[in-house]
Structure 1
Amino acid sequence: MHLAACAISLAVVAVVVSVAVASFACFRMFRRYRIPLCGCFRNRDDLELGPVDARVADGPENDDKTSEEASAVRRFGWPELELLTGKFAAAAVVGEGGSSTVYLARLPDSSLAALKLHRQSERLHRAFCQELDVLLRLRHPHIVRLLGYCDDREEEGVLAFEFVSNGSLHDKLHGGEEALPWARRMAVAHQVAQALQYLHEDCDPQVVHGDVKAANVLLDGAMEAKLCDFGSARVGFSAAVAPPRSGRAIMMGSPGYIDPHYLRSGMISKKSDVYSFGVLLLELVTGAEAFDAGRELRLTAAMGPVLKDPQGRAAEAVDAKLGGEFDSGEAKEAVAIAAMCVGDNPSLRPSMAEVVRLLREKTSSSIAAVASKSDGK
C-alpha cells in the first residue's frame, strides 16, 4: 500500500510538472511571436498559408519571426484609416487590381503611405492573411516596407505600405517615357536579385515570392528598386501546389513570367522565382514586354536564338530606345545569366545567390556608376 501511494504521488507530481512546463512554453511562445489574438490571427487555422497542397518546396519548416520585425509594424483601427483616406474616397485612389484598391494617405507623422484595401470573401480573406503573415517577416532595403495593417473587419482588410514615388518598373520600361538608362537597368536587376536572395536564403522560414514581374518592382525617389505584392508568396518547406489544370488551385504568376515546369508539374519552388527573374532580366535588356498579347508570344520564345548565342547575338536584342548607349559586354553577360535562369530544367538553374554574384561581377561598371551617383560622388 505504501509503495502504491508513493507511485500515485509521483504520477501526480509528474503531471503537475508537465502542465507547468507546457504552460511556460506557451507563455514564451506568445511573448516571442507576439501573436495578435484577433482579426486575421484569431484562429490558428487562419495562419495556414493556403490549402495543404499549396506549400513551398525546398525550404525549412520553421515559423519564427523576430520581435523587432513584429514590433515595427503598427495595427491601425478602421476609423483611423477612414479618417486618413476621407472614408476611402475615390479621389484618394492611386491604383486598382482584381481584388484590391490602393489609396494614398498621409499618416499622422506626415509621411505618405499606400493603403491596399482588400475586398474580402472567404478566399480573399485567406489571401489577405497570407500576405500579411509573409510581410510581417520581411525587412530588406529592396522590399517595400509594411508600415501597418488593419484586420478589424471580416469583409475588408488593409495593408499600409511605405509610399514608393516613381511608380513601377513596368511603367518605366513600357510607358512611353524617357528610356531608363542601361546602368540603371543593371542596378535594378541587381537590387531585385538581392531581394530574392534574401527571401530564398536569409528568411526563416524561406519565402517564394510567386509573382516576380516588372509591375511588382517599384522605384523610389532615388530610382532604387523595391519588390512588392506578396499575395502569391508561399512560406515553408514541402511539396507541390495543385496543377492549375486540375481546377483545385489558382494560377500563380503572370503571363510570360510563369515557370513552364510549374505549369507541367504543379511544383512551385525557389527556382520558379529564378525563372521569373530571368524573364525580368531579359525585359530590362530588350525593353520588350514579357508577353506580347497581340501575337500571343512569350519573350523567352522570341529571344530563343539570342539565348542560345548570347555572346554573338545579345547586342542585336538590346532596347532600341537606348540609342546604342549601353555596355555591349554587360549585355552579353546579362543575356547569358538570363539564359541560365530560364533553362527548362529547374535543378540546373542558378540560385539567386549565384545570380547576385554573377551580376555583381559581370555588370560591375553599371552597378558602381549608379552607386556613385546615388552617393553624390
Structure 2
Amino acid sequence: PQTALSDDNKLGQGGFGVVYKGTLPDGRRIAIKRLTTQSQKGKQEFLNEVKLVSSVQHRNLVKLYGCCTEESERLLVYELLENNSLSRVLFQGNLCLSWEQRYNVILGVARGLAYLHEDSQVKIIHRDIKAGNVLLDEKFEAKIADFGLARLYSDERSINTQIAGTLGYMAPEYALHGHLTDKADVFSFGILSLEIVSGRRSTDLNQPIERQYLLEWAWKSHERNEQLDLVDAGLNTVPPSFDKEQAIRVICVGLLCTQATPSQRPSMSRVVTMICGEAKLGKVSRPAMVELVDGVLKADTLNSSYSSQELHSSQCISSAR
C-alpha cells in the first residue's frame, strides 16, 4: 500500500531505489524496495533481481517474498533484517561488533558466495559485494542482498561485460577490461573481510598516509608480520577479547582473495575451509590495488600486466561510500 511508502517508514536509499519497512497481513515484517523509474536501467534492474533471487535459497541470502508491478511502479518485497546493513553498523553506528560477531559475518558471506558460485542450480556472480549489500538479522547473521547487478555464468569461460559495481571492491581484470568471472566476487570478498576486521572503509583519506588505503596497509602489515595492527582497536574494549589466531587467519585469507592474478585467488568453498582452519593457507603475494586517479582507473600490482583505462559515462560504476 502507498501508506507504507512514506518517509516515516524509509529505511535507506541506494543507487537504484528507496527501501521502506512494512508488515504483511500475517504479521511478517518486510522491507519494500521501490526501484527508480527514471531510466530504463531501473526496469532491467527489477527483472534481473526477481529472476535471480527467486531461483536461489540459502540461509546467508536475503529472502524475496514477492514483487509488484503496476504501470511505472516496481516493488520488491523482502524479509526485513532487523539490524539493517553491515555498512551502517560497521561505519555509521555506535555499536562495536564483537570479534565473534565479525567472524560469523565473514564466514556467513563466504558461505553465501560459495553457494552462489558452486552449489546453486544457476551459477551466479553477484558483482557488487560490499558492506552496504550485506544485511544483518536480529542475531547479526549475515545475508547477501541486492542482486540487481548479478550475472549468470558458465565455469568454462569469462564474461566480457560492461563494468558495473563499486570502486574500492572491484577486481583489476574486471575494472580495467570487463573480464568477469567468479573470482571478481572473491576479490570483493577479500576487501570486505579486511573492512570487517579493521572496522574501517577500504579508503579513508582521514587516516595517516600509510593507512589511507586498507589493502596496501594490510599487505605492509603482513610483510612485517604485524597483521594484528589491522584489527579494530575497539575490540580491545569489547569482552571477550578477540581471537588473535582467527584474526590473523582472516587477514591472510583477505589478502589471498585479492591477489593480482584471478587464478591465484581461492574459490569461495576453499575460502570457507581456510577461515574455519580446515585448510592450509596459501602463499600470499602482493595484492592488486585499483584506484581512480584523475578520471582514470589504474591498477598497482607488483607484476602488473594491467593497463590504465579511462572511465566513460556508459559504465555503471559507483564510488564506495
Flag the structure with higher strand content: 2
Partner of 1:342: 258
| Cα distance between partner residues in 1 of 2:114 and 2:31 | 25
| 8 Å contact from structure 2 (residues 194, 254) kept in 1 | yes
Secondary structure of 1:104 counterpart: strand
Asked whether 1:107 is paired with 2:24, we answer: yes
| 8 Å contact from structure 1 (residues 255, 291) kept in 2 | no
Partner of 1:157: 74
| Cα distance between partner residues in 2 of 1:259 and 1:239 | 13
1:202-281 alignment, distance < 5 Å: 202-237=119-154, 238-242=157-161, 249=162, 251-281=163-193
| Cα distance between partner residues in 2 of 1:213 and 1:96 | 15
Alpha-carbon distance, 1:282 to partner: 0.7
Stretch deviating more after TM superposition (343-352 or 316-325): 316-325
In structure 2, give the amino acid aligned to 1:144.
Answer: V
| Cα distance between partner residues in 1 of 2:110 and 2:12 | 26
In structure 1, give the amino acid aligned to 2:218.
Answer: M
Partner of 1:314: 227
| 8 Å contact from structure 1 (residues 252, 258) kept in 2 | no
| 8 Å contact from structure 1 (residues 199, 206) kept in 2 | yes
1:36-185 alignment, distance < 5 Å: 82=1, 85-86=2-3, 88-120=5-37, 121-153=39-71, 155-185=72-102
| Cα distance between partner residues in 2 of 1:321 and 1:106 | 36
Asked whether 1:201 is paired with 2:104, we answer: no
| 8 Å contact from structure 1 (residues 189, 281) kept in 2 | yes
Partner of 1:71: none
Secondary structure of 1:340 counterpart: helix
Alpha-carbon distance, 1:122 to partner: 2.0
Partner of 1:10: none
What's the Cα RMSD here? Answer: 2.0
Stretch deviating more after TM superposition (289-298 or 108-117): 289-298
Partner of 2:305: none
Partner of 2:220: 305
| Cα distance between partner residues in 2 of 1:239 and 1:341 | 18
Secondary structure of 2:19 counterpart: strand
Alpha-carbon distance, 1:294 to partner: 5.4
| Cα distance between partner residues in 2 of 1:298 and 1:349 | 20
Alpha-carbon distance, 1:190 to partner: 0.6
| 8 Å contact from structure 2 (residues 63, 79) kept in 1 | yes
The higher radius of gyration belongs to 1
Alpha-carbon distance, 1:98 to partner: 2.6
Select 1:331's aligned residue among 234, 240, 247: 247
| 8 Å contact from structure 2 (residues 153, 181) kept in 1 | no
Partner of 1:28: none
Partner of 1:372: none
Partner of 1:49: none
Secondary structure of 1:86 counterpart: helix
Flag the structure with higher helix content: 1
Partner of 1:290: 202
Could you say if the C-alpha distance between residues 87 and 166 of structure 1 is closer, same or farther in structure 2, counting changes exceeding 3 Å? closer
In structure 2, give the amino acid aligned to 1:339.
Answer: L
| Cα distance between partner residues in 2 of 1:254 and 1:145 | 23
Structure 1: runs of 5 or more not aligned: 1-81, 243-248, 364-377
| Cα distance between partner residues in 2 of 1:217 and 1:159 | 17
Higher relative CO (CA 8 A, sep ≥ 6), structure 1 or 2?
1
Asked whether 1:191 is paired with 2:103, we answer: no
Secondary structure of 2:21 counterpart: strand
Alpha-carbon distance, 1:100 to partner: 0.6
The two structures have a TM-score, normalised by structure 2, of 0.79
Secondary structure of 1:113 counterpart: strand
| Cα distance between partner residues in 2 of 1:358 and 1:314 | 17
| 8 Å contact from structure 1 (residues 192, 227) kept in 2 | yes
